[in-house]
Amino acid sequence: MLEQIENRFEKFLNDLETVVNIDSGSRNTPGLEAVSAFFQDRFQKIGWATTNHSFDDGNVPCLEVTNKPPSGNDSAFDLLFIGHMDTVFGQGTAAARPFSRDEKRAYGPGVCDMKGGLVTMLHVAEILQQTKVTDDIAIAMAFNSDEEIGSRGSRRWYESLASKSRCVFVFEPWRATGERVLHRKGGGNFDVICHGKAAHAGAAPEDGANAVIELAHQILAVKELARIDRGTSVNVTVISGGTADNVIPDFAKASVDVRIADEDEGQRIEESFQVLSHKIHTPGVQVEVCGGINRPPMAPSERTEQLWQQITAIGEAIGLEMTLMHTGGCSDGNYTAALGIPTIDAMGVRGGCAHSEDEYIELDSIVPNMHLMCEIVKAFAGGRIS
C-alpha cells in the first residue's frame, strides 16, 4: 500500500493546487460550491454516494459522502471524517497569491487550513477503495463550509452523522511542531455595541452622547474578564465607530474573541457580558451585547484516550512520532467530542501559519500522513481497533 501512496504524491499536489486556487471564504457561496463540486465528482468516480446539503438559506453548501450508506438496522458508520471547505480569505486572494511550492513546502490560501486535509480525505478514500479495504468498513465524510464562522448552519447535520459513528477524525492540520490534538479550548464571539447621539463636535458637543467614549470604557471592562490561570482569554479583535472627524459618534462596536478551557468559565463569561449593558459610564448611551459561547471545550473521554493509544501504536510501527498538544484553537471536533463520540483531531497534513499570507504545508508530511490514515482504517476494518 505504501508504494501506491507514494505514487500518488504528484497527483495529490495537483489536486491541492486546484482547490487552493478556488477562492472559498466562508460567505463565498459560488466558490464553496465549486470546491464541493470538485470533490463530489471525484467521489462519484470511485462509486461512493454523495449528497448535497444547503443550510442557512443556501449560503452554506455542504457535501456528504459515504461508501456504504446505512440502511435497515445497520444504522452506524464505523468512521466519520470531517473537513471544512471554507477559508478566512476574501475574493481575489487566490489570484493574488496562488498555490506555489518549493523543495520543502507548498503555499497558498487555505493550503494548511484545511484544503490539505480535504485532499487527504479524498486520496485516502481512493486508496482504500482501490485496495478493497472499504469492503469491510462503513465510512461517512462531511465537508462543511462555515467552520471558520462557527458552523452555525452545518453543526446539526454533522452532529447527526457523528451520533451514528463509532469514531470521528477531524482533518485540521497536523501541527507544525509535530503533534496531533485531543484537547481544544472552547470559545465564542461577542459584539459590544454602543448607541449614542450625534451632534456637532465643535459647536454643540454637549448635545451629543459619545458612543466611542462609552465603548472605550466597555473595552477596558471586557479586558478584565480574562483569567489566564483558568485558561480563559478575552481579546478585542475589531472595532468601529464614528462617521466624520467633526461629529460626535452615535455608534461604536467592538468584536471580542473568547476562549475557555472549561464549561464553568463559559457560563461566567456569558453572565459577565450581559452585565455590561447595565454598567454605563456615558450619559445618553445605551449598550447592547450580542453573541455567546458557541463551541464547548474539547476534552478526551476515557474511550478516546484508549483509541489514541491504539493509533499511537500504529503510527510508531510505520516510523511516526505520535505526540499530542493542547490548543486554544477551536474546530468542529469540539462539537463531536461534546457528544461523547471519540474524536481524534489534526489528522490533516503538517503545516503552519494558518490564516496568514505565510500559510504552508510540509511536503514530506503528505505521504506519511496518508499512510497513517490508511493503516488506521485497515485496523478498524480488520477488527484490530475495537
263 within domain boundaries: yes
What is the average pLDDT across 99-126?
A: 98
**Euclidean distance between CA atoms 193 and 190, whole angstroms:** 10
pLDDT for 63 beyond 80: yes
CA–chain centroid gap for 203, Å, is 50
Do 52 and 180 lie in one domain? The reply is: yes
376 within domain boundaries: yes
Task: Determine what percent of the chain is predicted with pLDDT higher than 70.
Answer: 98
Do 247 and 99 lie in one domain? The reply is: no
Task: Determine what percent of the chain is predicted with pLDDT higher than 90.
Answer: 94
Instruction: State how beta strands 165-170 and 77-84 pair.
Output: parallel
Peptide bond into 85 cis (omega under 30): no
In total, how many domains does the chain have? 2
Check residue 286 and give its pLDDT.
98
Check residue 1 and give its pLDDT.
86
Domain end: 247, 278, 295, which one?
295
Pull the grid cell for residue 294: 458557541
291 within domain boundaries: yes
pLDDT for 72 beyond 60: no
Check residue 81 and give its pLDDT.
98
Q: What is the arrangement of strands in the sheet containing 186-195, beginning at the earlier edge strand?
A: 233-241, 251-260, 186-195, 286-295
Do 246 and 256 lie in one domain? The reply is: yes
Check residue 156 and give its pLDDT.
96
- Asked if 312 contacts 329 with a C-beta cutoff of 8 angstroms, the reply is no
Low-confidence winner among 17-26, 64-73, 103-112, 353-362 (lowest mean pLDDT): 64-73
Do 362 and 287 lie in one domain? The reply is: no
Instruction: State how beta strands 199-200 and 165-170 pair.
Output: unpaired
Task: Name which of 278, 274, 280 is nearest 209 in CA terms.
Answer: 280
Instruction: State how beta strands 105-107 and 100-101 pair.
Output: antiparallel
Do 160 and 203 lie in one domain? The reply is: no
Confidence of residue 75 (pLDDT cuts 50, 70, 90): low
Greater model confidence, 178 or 52: 52
pLDDT, tens digit, 9 for 90 and up, residues 313-348: 999 999 999 999 999 989 999 999 999 999 999 999
Domain end: 295, 312, 331, which one?
295
190 within domain boundaries: yes
252 within domain boundaries: yes
Do 360 and 303 lie in one domain? The reply is: yes
Q: Which residues contact 360 (CB under 8 A, 6 or more apart)?
A: 105, 106, 107, 111, 112, 351, 352, 353
Do 307 and 266 lie in one domain? The reply is: no
pLDDT for 91 beyond 80: yes
pLDDT for 19 beyond 80: yes
Do 279 and 350 lie in one domain? The reply is: no
What is the average pLDDT across 206-221?
A: 98
- CATH at residue 287: 3.30.70.360
pLDDT for 177 beyond 80: yes
CB atoms within 10 A of CB 229: 6
pLDDT for 175 beyond 60: yes
Please report, as a single letter, which amino acid is at residue 337.
A
Pull the grid cell for residue 211: 458612543
Check residue 71 and give its pLDDT.
60
Domain extent at residue 270: 186-295
- CATH at residue 70: 3.40.630.10
Do 173 and 223 lie in one domain? The reply is: no
Do 177 and 315 lie in one domain? The reply is: yes
Do 261 and 167 lie in one domain? The reply is: no
386 within domain boundaries: no
**Euclidean distance between CA atoms 320 and 335, whole angstroms:** 28
**Euclidean distance between CA atoms 107 and 109, whole angstroms:** 7
Average pLDDT over the chain reads 95
105 within domain boundaries: yes
Do 284 and 211 lie in one domain? The reply is: yes
88 within domain boundaries: yes
Check residue 256 and give its pLDDT.
98
Q: Which residues contact 307 (CB under 8 A, 6 or more apart)?
A: 167, 342, 344, 385
Domain end: 295, 325, 354, which one?
295
